[in-house]
Structure 1
Amino acid sequence: MAKLKPAQIAEVKGKGFLINRGTENFSGRIVPRGTVFSPDDLKTVSEISSKFGNGKVIPTTRLGLEIQGIPYENVQDAIDYAESHGLKFGGTGNKIRPITSCKGTTCVYGNYDTHALAAKLYDEYYIGWADIKLPHKFKIGIGGCPNSCVKPALNDFGIEGHRIPKYNSENCKGCKVCMIEKSCPSKAAKLVDGKMVIDENVCKTCGVCSESKCPFKAVKPHNEVVYQIYVGGTWGKKSRMGTPLSKFVSEDEIAPILEKTMIWFKLNANPKERLGVAIDRLGVEKFEKDVLENDELLEKKDILFE
């Protein structure tokens, strides 16, 4: 086969295939729905690797699977085979990147079903908005609690589940060994003069105390989940911790805020400028006012598809 042209390399890069250094072969990224692969999915990935690649599969930092050593002439066959088995290659370009989530669905510290939210956003935005063009890549990370294992604050749009403790002082008996105080990882809960006090300046709203073994239920168990949104996070050569929005939001508010964030990004960022850089250039106050207060921004959604 003749030497590949830059246009051919760019064409398949847009489909999720990156050229392997020193070769004319490619690595293709399979993006899972909700960051979960089924046994059948894994079997399909294995078959694609054997049929069209070099037999090697590696995990990606966005929790996908990368099939290595695929010759250019096999790329379309690999895509067709994957799609016939319900899988998709992708994960490149100036658009929504693979959505990552922690294992909050099964983790003892997880405050909500992270995989379900990841699957919902995958369907609505990663797939539904696959054709939108943004100034730069846009990463979404979903965390189940403030332990932040999946690092939501290092994504362009990070979602983190919290539980605000609801303390009932009438139920507190001032036990000598307080199970709430004992369970609090941040040491925000302490007995003072025989009554529980929770220091709001220290509390991380992790929700652990709501699962404590307090026999008198001085902290209401299983309180409602709220979400901390982080925007503009990046890592690498130009690192920036995501800016936390000034208030917690409900699950129903996540999608509208996400949509307005992407519209704001498209309207305000320069080409090849990440969201965090645009926020720093124009100001956090402007971003928050536009995204949290300006519902008219949603009327400009069509700009994403231009």
Structure 2
Amino acid sequence: MVRHTCSVPFLTRTGGRCYNKMRNVCYSIKRSETMTYNANFYPACTVPAAEVNRVKGLGFLRDKTTPDRFNARVITRNGKITADEMYAIADAARRFGSGEIAFTTRQTAEVQGISFENIQPFCQFLAMHGLLVGGTGPRVRPVVSCKGTTCVFGLIDTFSLSLKIHELHYIGYHQVKLPHKFKIAVGGCPNNCVKPDLNDVGVIGAWQPVLVADACKGCGACVKACPIGAAALKSGQFTNTSDCNLCGRCVRACHVGGLDYIPGYRLTLGGRWGKQVARGQALRHLFTSEEEVLAAVEKAILLFRDKGVAGERFADTVARIGLDEAERLILSDELPQRKAEILEKVL
């Protein structure tokens, strides 16, 4: 495998003007007993390739700029950690790493510069403080949550739901191998700050507006409040089009009791970012309880393990079997009834 990159010395020699020559500057990865980079740019790895792959599965990613150091992903439960846990991570970074911490898009804390020899003591130190490393490989990845619980736009308790998903489906399925990585995000409203629809499964808070005909005055406040033009007046009363994303702005704008709402959750399946972006497709069903959502998320995981092909993302699985079939399976009890069989399958 060959990739293109630029070295700092090259940038210095050319005054930073290397765009047109970048493709000629590359390093190669030689897969043998050790992973070796072009010595002109990066030092040779002194850790055997088998060990590099093993610790990657534990949550340690090799730092290509060093011969034997790794960056460790420390798992958060739903994007939150306590002050004591923050101190513990900082202490671990000073003791075993470079003293620096980065944060990933999955809301994990990534401790930088841990030597290979320090990996085990690092894990033991974290375990003393109730912390784990992970978040790599073809498995359920750390659950991402927005701050919908406290955000003025939040329609659901995102912290509560994402914590339950973390415990049941990240921790609960931690040892379950899947065809590929599987990402879950919980967003409090259709603002989509954490991009739920670019995850394999996205949960989005929703308020489905319900007209209270006797109370509606036809004032049009709901129409003015709709940010996407999906609200309208028909025969002097509120109506909404199929473009409505259930954001609830119309409900909040009504001060005469003309609109009630059904609180719920929308689910999207098959989102993916990266080189081949796919936007998750929303199920037609409005989920109305956390329990219903938790069951649906588990069914999506089982669906991926049952129908997915090794190496393919859930977006490809959904596209192959069709959204209608995927939704049918999510809303039925077929997959839970076959759970033991599905989990025993060899991938």
State yes or no: 1:301 paired with 2:339: yes
1:3 to 43, 46, 55: 46
State yes or no: 1:92 paired with 2:131: no
State yes or no: 1:224 paired with 2:262: yes
State yes or no: 1:256 paired with 2:298: no
TM-score by length of 2: 0.81
Rounded to whole Å, the distance in 2 between the matches of 1:171 and 1:285 is: 38
Cα distance, 1:305–1:51 mapped onto 2, change above 3 Å: farther
CA contact under 8 A between 1:139 and 1:156: conserved in structure 2?
A: yes
CA contact under 8 A between 2:218 and 2:238: conserved in structure 1?
A: no
2:86 to 27, 35, 42: 42
Report the equivalent of 1:72. Answer: 116
Report the equivalent of 1:119. Answer: 163
Report the equivalent of 2:61. Answer: 18
SS of residue matched to 1:33 = coil
Alignment of 1:1-306 (within 5 A): 3-23=46-66, 24-175=68-219, 178-191=220-233, 195-212=236-253, 214-220=254-260, 223-251=261-289, 252-293=291-332, 295-302=333-340, 303-304=342-343
Gaps of 5+ in 1: none
Rounded to whole Å, the distance in 2 between the matches of 1:84 and 1:128 is: 21
CA contact under 8 A between 1:34 and 1:117: conserved in structure 2?
A: no
In the alignment, residue 192 of structure 2 is paired with which amino acid?
A: S
Rounded to whole Å, the distance in 1 between the matches of 2:238 and 2:46 is: 71
CA contact under 8 A between 1:17 and 1:26: conserved in structure 2?
A: yes
The C-alpha deviation readout for 1:127-154, integer Å capped at 9, x for no partner, is 1221111111100011111111111111
Rounded to whole Å, the distance in 1 between the matches of 2:224 and 2:286 is: 26
Rounded to whole Å, the distance in 1 between the matches of 2:344 and 2:118 is: 30
In the alignment, residue 47 of structure 2 is paired with which amino acid?
A: L
The C-alpha deviation readout for 1:77-99, integer Å capped at 9, x for no partner, is 11111111111111001110010
Rounded to whole Å, the distance in 1 between the matches of 2:304 and 2:282 is: 17
Rounded to whole Å, the distance in 1 between the matches of 2:304 and 2:232 is: 44
Q: Name which structure has the greater RCO, CA cutoff 8 Å, separation 6+.
A: 1
In the alignment, residue 265 of structure 1 is paired with which amino acid?
A: F
CA contact under 8 A between 2:264 and 2:286: conserved in structure 1?
A: yes
Rounded to whole Å, the distance in 1 between the matches of 2:273 and 2:155 is: 26
The C-alpha deviation readout for 1:117-172, integer Å capped at 9, x for no partner, is 11011111111221111111100011111111111111111111110112212212
SS of residue matched to 2:209 = coil
Rounded to whole Å, the distance in 1 between the matches of 2:141 and 2:273 is: 15
Cα distance, 1:69–1:161 mapped onto 2, change above 3 Å: same
Cα distance, 1:120–1:82 mapped onto 2, change above 3 Å: same
What is the RMSD computed on CA atoms of the aligned residues?
1.8
Deviates more, 1:284-293 or 1:104-113: 284-293
Identity of aligned pairs, percent? 38
The C-alpha deviation readout for 1:197-247, integer Å capped at 9, x for no partner, is 2222342210122222x4321112xx3322111111111112111121122
Rounded to whole Å, the distance in 2 between the matches of 1:299 and 1:191 is: 46
Return the offset for 1:3: 2.3
In the alignment, residue 13 of structure 1 is paired with which amino acid?
A: K
Rounded to whole Å, the distance in 2 between the matches of 1:90 and 1:137 is: 12
TM-score by length of 1: 0.91
Rounded to whole Å, the distance in 2 between the matches of 1:210 and 1:239 is: 33
Gaps of 5+ in 2: 1-44
In the alignment, residue 140 of structure 1 is paired with which amino acid?
A: I
SS of residue matched to 1:226 = strand
Rounded to whole Å, the distance in 2 between the matches of 1:218 and 1:234 is: 39
Count of residue correspondences: 298
CA contact under 8 A between 2:231 and 2:238: conserved in structure 1?
A: yes
SS of residue matched to 1:285 = helix
SS of residue matched to 1:210 = helix
